[in-house]
Amino acid sequence: MKVTINGDAGELPDGTTVAQAVRTLTAMTSGVAVAVNDVVVSRGAWESTSLTENDRVEVLTAVQGG
């Protein structure tokens, strides 16, 4: 299925979870937050939330700013 992670479109196996999608970018779990289609997925739900075709996943962290 086609999924976009941080703006990059790619193919992931059907049933890929949010947790697996995050692990394509980082092994970190603290200091990271995820939104799927502009809705926050809390860390406790990463393993149990499966992505679906054309989902837009945003994986954010804190950077220098302000």
Partner 1 sequence: MSDEDDVLVIGGEKFSSRLIMGTGGAPSLEVLDRALEASGTELTTVAMRRLDPAVQGSVLDVLRRRGIKVLPNTAGCFTAGEAVLTARLAREALETNWVKLEVISDERTLLPDPIETFDAAERLVADGFVVLPYIGDDPALARRLEQAGCAAVMPLGAPIGSGLGIRNPHSIELIVEAASVPVILDAGLGTASDAALAMELGCDAVLLATAVTRAQRPELMASAMRSAVEAGRMARLAGRIPRRRYAEASSPSLPGFA
Binding site for partner 1 (CB under 8 A): 6-7, 25-26, 31-35, 38, 40, 42-43, 58-66
Phi, psi torsion values for 20, nearest 5 degrees = -65, -35
Residue among 9 and 60 whose Cβ is closer to partner 1: 60
Residue among 14 and 43 whose Cβ is closer to partner 1: 43
Read off the tokens for 41.
């997925």
Three-point CA angle 36, 58, 30, nearest 5° = 100
Q: Report, in Å, the least distance between residue 38 CB and partner 1.
A: 6
Read off the tokens for 31.
């200091």
